[in-house]
Structure 1
Amino acid sequence: MSNEPRKQRPGLRASQKEATGKAVLEAAREEFERVGFEAANLRAIAARAGVSAGTVIHHYGDKRELLHAALFDDLDETLRQALAGLGPGPLEKQLSELTRAVFGYYQRRPKLSRTLLKESLFADEPWARKFTAQAGMVHGALARLATEASARGELRPGADGALFAAAYLSFFYFALISWVQGAHPSPVSMVEHLVHQHLEGLRPVRKTPSRRSAR
């Protein structure tokens, strides 16, 4: 008798566990968006995912742990895809593409975005460390884009990529907070205008010919 079926079982179980986990996370996002975090309950999430409440607890523990897992996983994938999908420069165009891709994620689930903003900024460990590392990943990618733009001559020599990345993130979070609070209807345009204004101060200085040299 062949042992092949037995060899496949661990891989099959792992695949089924991963599929169940993804189904639970997606169900949690939908339920949190539908009724809000406080009103959501594990039984409703389990029913939406087609599993038992015990399965949800086994995979993710309590409701807050499930919330963190659902938010982090979804946002992480969105950020990585957005960064990987950026086309070639110029820098301002790349940043516009990134802004629109990430805000598109928030705008698809406005209620969940409020929770995401709060939890990502003020989460307890170990999630605080994970969200911090996630922000660090984006910061590093933005710093590289700015450094590459400087090498292309779009920004003046010596422009600090890390400081520019911090400036972009401050613009992004300011616009996100304004949008979540209902203070600004178009967060993408706000970020684009702030970025444009900031970039203008980092452009190479173009020397104008003096009157004597022009003669």
Structure 2
Amino acid sequence: MRDDQKQATREKVLEAARDLFNETGYEETTIRAIAERAGVSVGSVFTTFASKAEVLSHVMDRRLGELYAEFDRVVPYLRGSTADRLCSIFAIHYEFETRRVKLFLAHIAASYSPSPDPGVTPYGRNERLTQMLREVLEEGVARGDVRPDLDPQLVIDLLKAAYAWNYRLAASRQASATELSATMDKQIQLIAEGWRPV
């Protein structure tokens, strides 16, 4: 019974935090506001999570679970060149994350905090995305449209950096998923010039 109550509190806190981070941003959201929205005490939040940053990390883990459930259905059907497949992967990410863009911006910002919280999984350490990008690049090598001597981790890091950097357009001028994808497509085409076989 006690475990059920603890799980129910956890669910309420994560839902409330997700909505507040998206509505008002990470910095402006307080633990007290999360507790009030969740209908629990501040103490209950702190017995479940060590910090606001840890709450954000758990919110993002849950969202990524939803996103990658979509990918499990879509990835087997991706077609075209390596660049085309990567463009599709990032377009799906932009479409998903711009539904709650302030939440994703909060995740990126918290990742670059000068005093990182040990309970936080920073942006860029998403193993599922890394694995997906690596597989696309390896398939490209097997098909012959990616050089076999390519350093895949270097390309993955570059792709992730471009992906995150493009969110500045969402933050500064409310760019849509379509605009972010169009920018990423151009960046991927430029990066692809470096992996084409000679």
TM-score range, shorter chain: 0.7 to 0.9
1:79 CA drift (Å): 5.5
Q: Which residue of 2 aligns with 1:168?
A: 159
Q: 1:77 aligns with which of 65, 70, 77?
A: 65
Residue type of the alignment partner of 1:28: A
CA distance in 1: counterparts of 2:147 and 2:29, whole angstroms: 51
Deviation at 1:42, TM superposition (A): 3.1
Cα 1:140–1:24 shift into 2, 3 Å: same
Q: CA RMSD in A?
A: 3.0
1:22 equivalent to 2:11? Answer: yes
> What is residue 111 of structure 2 aligned with on the other side?
120
The two structures have a TM-score, normalised by structure 2, of: 0.76
Counterpart of 1:108, as a letter, is: R
Contact kept, 8 Å, 1:156 with 1:203, in 2: the verdict is yes
Hey, what's the Cα distance between the residues in 2 that align with 1:135 and 1:111? 19
Larger deviation: 180-189 or 195-204? 180-189
Distance 2:53 2:108 in 1: 14
Residue 98 of structure 2 is aligned to residue 110 of structure 1: no
By how many angstroms is 1:116 displaced? 1.6
**Aligned-partner residue type, residue 40 of structure 1:** T
CA contact (8 A) 1:150 1:158 kept: no
Q: How many residues align?
A: 192
**8 Å contact from structure 1 (residues 78, 102) kept in 2:** no
Letter in 1 for 2:61: D
Bigger shift: residues 189-198 or 156-165: 156-165
Deviation at 1:37, TM superposition (A): 3.0
Larger RCO: 1 or 2 (CA < 8 Å, sep 6+): 2
Unaligned stretches of 5+ residues in structure 1: 1-8, 206-215
The aligned counterpart of 2:185 is: 192
The aligned amino acid for 1:24 is V
Flag structure 2 segments of 5+ consecutive residues without an equivalent. none
